[in-house]
Amino acid sequence: MNENLFASFMVPMTLGIPITTLIIMFPTMLFPTPNRLINNRMITIQQWLTKLTSKQLMVTHNPKGQTWSLMLISLFLFIASTNLLGMLPHSFTPTAQLSMNLGMAIPLWAGTVFIGFRNKTKMSLAHLLPLGTPTFLIPMLVMIETISLFIQPLALAVRLTANITAGHLLLHLIGSATLALMNINLFTALITFIILTLLVILEFAVALIQAYVFTLLVSLYLQDNT
């Protein structure tokens, strides 16, 4: 029970060298490139899920927005696989690091905003001032809308980080409580273990849902600017 709760979120080191880059590259091995005329079941399921997710994300986009489909699907697969790998025992979850999530959110958000100001300058500027605003409120509302615009990538990163971190901490606390209760009350420990099992299933769902939400919000930002 004296174990540091945040030990699993520390960057792993080998010989004093961080191996985060290798961990981030590992999920790409889960999606092999098919080189056969007839694929096996695993690759077929992966391709079906990829097409289904791509259809859900890009159905409302115009042809300019649909050019981002490959990037958005790659983003979804990367976040989902990284989150799921973080559920393995004694593993490291890169998406629990705010710096990494900001590194994904800021460039994608900046790209959508840049496209909006380049292709639809007047409409992008019009978003900073709602229609029918009283004259004396214009400076305040422009400032508020500008701040809300720049908060979008921070909200993206914080949402993903908070959900992944909170889930892992809750699993760690309940798992530690289950081990401690085994020597005190076996029946209570059994109930706690059942709760822990249900939370593990929920956390697997959260790992996929948060990847989809992150990608969906980037897709919505892109839709507003194309």
Is the separation of the CB atoms in 129 and 138 below 8 Å?
yes
The total number of residues shown for the chain amounts to 226
- 14 domain residue, yes or no: yes
- Rg (C-alpha) for the chain, rounded Å, is 22
32: left (phi over 0), alpha (psi -120 to 50) or beta: beta
Q: How far apart are CA 193 and CA 39, in angstroms?
A: 39
Q: How far apart are CA 178 and CA 199, in angstroms?
A: 13
Q: How far apart are CA 198 and CA 203, in angstroms?
A: 9
Q: How confident is the model at residue 24 (pLDDT cuts 50, 70, 90)?
A: low
Cα of first residue to Cα of last residue in the chain, in angstroms, is: 52
Summarised one tens digit per residue, pLDDT across range 163-220 is 988 888 888 888 888 888 888 888 888 888 898 889 889 989 998 899 889 988 888 8
Per the listing, tokens 């899920």 go with 49
Range(s) of the domain holding residue 106 = 7-225
Summarised one tens digit per residue, pLDDT across range 77-133 is 888 888 888 887 777 778 888 888 888 899 999 888 888 888 877 777 777 777 777
Is the separation of the CB atoms in 206 and 167 below 8 Å?
yes
- 174 domain residue, yes or no: yes
Strand ranges in 13-108 using DSSP code E only, listed in sequence order:
13-14, 17-18
- 1 domain residue, yes or no: no
C-alpha closest to that of 91 among 19, 166, 15: 19
Residue 150 in this model has a pLDDT that exceeds 80: yes
Count structural domains, the chain.
Answer: 1
Cβ neighbors of 77 (< 8 A, separation 6 or more) are: 27, 31, 50
- 2 domain residue, yes or no: no
pLDDT, position 196: 87
User: How far is CA 50 from each of CA 43, 57, 74, 99, 123, rounded to the nearest angstrom?
Assistant: 10, 11, 9, 27, 33
- Which spans in 120-137 are helix H? 121-126
- 38 domain residue, yes or no: yes
pLDDT, position 9: 58
Residue 3 in this model has a pLDDT that exceeds 60: no
Residue 158 in this model has a pLDDT that exceeds 60: yes
* Cα 153–Cα 154–Cα 156 angle in degrees, nearest 5: 65
Q: How confident is the model at residue 8 (pLDDT cuts 50, 70, 90)?
A: low
- 27 domain residue, yes or no: yes
Residue 30 in this model has a pLDDT that exceeds 70: no
